[in-house]
Structure 1
Amino acid sequence: MTTFDLSGKVAIVTGASRGIGEAIAQHFAQAGAKVVVCARKLESLQTVADSINQAGGMALAMACHTGKREQVQAVVAQTLAEWGRIDIVVNNAATNPHFGPLLNSDAAQWDKTYEVNVKGYFWLIQAAAEAMQNQGGGSIINVASVAGLQPATAMGIYSISKAAVIAMTKQLAQELGPSNIRVNALAPGLIKTKFSSALWDNEDLNQKIVAGTPLGRIGTVDEVAAAALYLASDAAAFTTGTVMTMDGGSLVGGILG
């Protein structure tokens, strides 16, 4: 459908060297967007960019620690220098250094999580918003988590950071709406990625999760990417401030807690 066409648009996708971020970048490129893929390690990013370019798309790889404001600003500046505009931002880079009771966490774990999962999201939005305002609009997609809606066991700091992402999304949807900039969040459940392998690679835990998920399985990165494509495209032209879950029903299944 033409409503899902991203031809002529430029997207920045963070955490794009693998998993959900890579899948989103690939789907955007297939829909016609020029894509800037970002992550901390350039080598793995270049592999993703090369794959997109070899398939007939257009991609640039830019190394960036999203928790470092100056690096985020540099990515935005380079994107504008190369392609002249920014239409779509996908905040996907995330970290989760603490697993266990929240009261056992330390300051360094809090700082690292918030540096990337919350501040990093804001730095990129802040840096890209001016370009979007000048060109008449854009779409910002923040990858949150169902853990931001229902805290996940032993993932307290991560859950709290994702709740902050959801609050940020709604706040910025209010503030940027008059500039025709849409701000939405994706809230995936358990998706089969390396990032979440500690959950799905544990047979007992995986069986417990699947048993509590109405659709009876965990999700795929392509399913998250398809939702991101909707939010990035004109199909979602009247959608802002929303939190879209793709969790196989785990929230209603009650498995997260």
Structure 2
Amino acid sequence: MQKARLLLSVCSRAWSSVRMVSSGMVRRDPHANKVALVTASTDGIGLAIARRLAQDGAHVVVSSRKQQNVDRAVAALQEEGLSVTGTVCHVGKAEDRERLVATALNLHGGIDILIANAAASPFFGNLMDATEEVWDKILDINVKATFLLIKAVVPEMEKRGGGSVVIVSSIGAYSPFPGLAPYNVSKTALLGLNKNLAAELAPRNIRVNCLAPGLIKTSFSHMLWTGKEREESVKETLQIRRIGKPEDCAGIVSFLCSEDASYITGETVVVAGGTPSRL
């Protein structure tokens, strides 16, 4: 049954391409034959990004800390006829980062795109109540591991003649979310990491940019929008009167990794529905 659904999906996409060609609308895959790694990509924003990159022609390696999440995401995306594989990766563990990179190399021979999306936020409360352990975990996962994964990928991108990195930060770097101060600070640090890496890696033909999502409807952010009254209150603060969807971020990331963005590096794109408070 699964093979039948996969075949139907592939045929559907092929027929769609035939119709576009016959009507003069030739589909352009901006990431054809590129290899993309996307961390924390079995749900929410990461999954939407993985799907969009694959739809735009890339071979995508998804990852998550749990095998069952990887299996579920890979199966769902493959049923859509997309070139997707996956592996378990806790970005805070060196052996998992090495396995993620090795998976891409073994299956596809190289890496062209890295989306650093993994983050942790184990604390909610007043900043002065945050413990040293909280700070260690958040900065280790959100900042240090992001850098170390990029460091591991850069030599492989150089072998391909260059590449593109997108670091997922947050609107919290500009307009802090209440109760999430250590998380907000870590996301602010990523803006600096983005600027420094972009300058250092430009001579290697590797572009580095940042995405700063606003409030997006995901399981990660549910505490900030769950409940009719709270959701309506949040909408009132946005110029676009709705809470974002993961797909609102995916197209921007695909663009930043494409040749259409070849003159863009060191920038942060805010996707936040017109959140008014900015630094």
**Does 2:268 align with 1:243?**
yes
Q: Does the residue aligned with 1:154 lie in a helix, a strand or coil?
A: coil
Partner of 1:158: 183
Q: 1:130 and 1:32 mapped to 2: Cα distance?
A: 23
1:17 to 42, 48, 54: 42
Gaps of 5+ in 2: 1-25
Partner of 2:13: none
Q: 2:136 and 2:45 mapped to 1: Cα distance?
A: 24
Structure 1 window deviating more from structure 2 (105-114 vs 2-11): it is: 2-11
Structure 1 window deviating more from structure 2 (175-184 vs 150-159): it is: 150-159
Q: How far is 1:71 from its partner?
A: 1.3
CA RMSD of aligned residues (A): 1.6
Q: Does the residue aligned with 1:119 lie in a helix, a strand or coil?
A: helix
1:128 to 153, 157, 160: 153
Q: How far is 1:3 from its partner?
A: 6.7
Task: Give the number of aligned pairs.
Answer: 254
1:147 to 156, 159, 172: 172
**Does 2:240 align with 1:215?**
yes
TM-score, scaled relative to structure 1 = 0.94
**Does 2:130 align with 1:105?**
yes
Partner of 1:167: 192
TM-score, scaled relative to structure 2 = 0.87
Q: 1:163 to 1:2 in 2, by over 3 A?
A: farther
Q: How far is 1:2 from its partner?
A: 6.7
Q: Is the 8 A contact 2:208 2:265 kept in 1?
A: yes
Deviations 1:38-60 (A, max 9, x none): 11011111111112222222111
Identity %: 38
The 5 Å alignment of 1:1-257 reads 5-250=30-275, 252=276, 254=277
Q: 1:169 to 1:234 in 2, by over 3 A?
A: same
Q: 2:218 and 2:240 mapped to 1: Cα distance?
A: 18
Q: 1:205 and 1:156 mapped to 2: Cα distance?
A: 20
Structure 1 window deviating more from structure 2 (52-61 vs 154-163): it is: 52-61
Structure 1 window deviating more from structure 2 (2-11 vs 216-225): it is: 2-11
